[in-house]
Structure 1
Amino acid sequence: MNNYQSARQQYSFEDIYQQYTPLVHGMLKRLHIHSNHEDFLQAGYIGLWLAYQHHDSEKGPFPAYAFLRVRGEMLTMLQKDANYYDRHSFSSNDQEPAQVRIETESWMPDVDTLAPYLNKLSDREQRWVIAHAVHDQPPRMIAANYNVSVETVKGWRKGALAKLRKYVK
């Protein structure tokens, strides 16, 4: 057997808190945490509490277990923060995409504006131009509306763009 006793058998949590505060603060430096100190300190103290609650003296001494739990809670929080910032982009120009979208919609052509160009196209190519340019529909939606494949709609697009390029030049 071993000579270790459970931390709960020897000390109150207040004693453990006082004794292991340097460990929690030192872990901030060891993990190079430069922001959100209070949040990470809280995570460290939660790790210390969990170590205090779950320590099994048969598996080893409390100091090593406390070190692992404090470090583990802080690393978990670092990982969660990293995942959050990876998945949520923050920008000082958060309003810019909405403004661009509004400006784009304000100059969207109508059928009357496109009429001179539509005369040069086949019926199917005209369908694509109107659905795409006027109604801003993607190929899959146009295909569903006319009960054709997406590849067929892409063919309409290819033909329409080729003819329009010749006409515009």
Structure 2
Amino acid sequence: MHKFTFEEIYNQNKQRIHYHIHQLNIHDPHREFYVEGLTALWHAYKTYEPDKGPMATYFNSIIRYRLIDRIRKQSLEQTQMKRYLSDYPRVSDGSNHSYHTALKDLLLDTPELCAKLKSLLTENQWNWLDYAIIRDMPHKAIAEKENTTVDAVKGWAREVRRKLSSAEIRKLLRQEFE
């Protein structure tokens, strides 16, 4: 029996990937699902055992279920992010530490969000956010570093909290993760 190369298998079965993407009603502008299907095709090619059944049936099931797994994974990630964003404003109503931790994680994970926030805050407000939230410095240490009073630093903190709870920032956060 002739052993096919992956290139031959790919040329014979690339439409199979498109078929499953279409059947599952997947919108794939960045071809992420196509690449996932291609990876599944390669995996199926490597693990196919002729005595277990027809190659086409095996390819169909591997590709289809890999695409379904990818949909589930993306859906779960979106659900978790929406839950995180909806809980985010409420985290501050009792525990400053958990609010700071959530904000710190969010800022460290998304540099583009940092850049957008930096453009919306004054230099002193950004410095407070950087020192107090990201670097976990106390107000007294920030005041010494910035050569100002603790009360001034607390004022920056109040303004940052006010701006972070504004509708504009909430909209920015939702746009960032939807």
What TM-score comes out, normalization by structure 2 length?
0.46
Q: Which has the larger radius of gyration?
A: 1
Higher helix share: 2
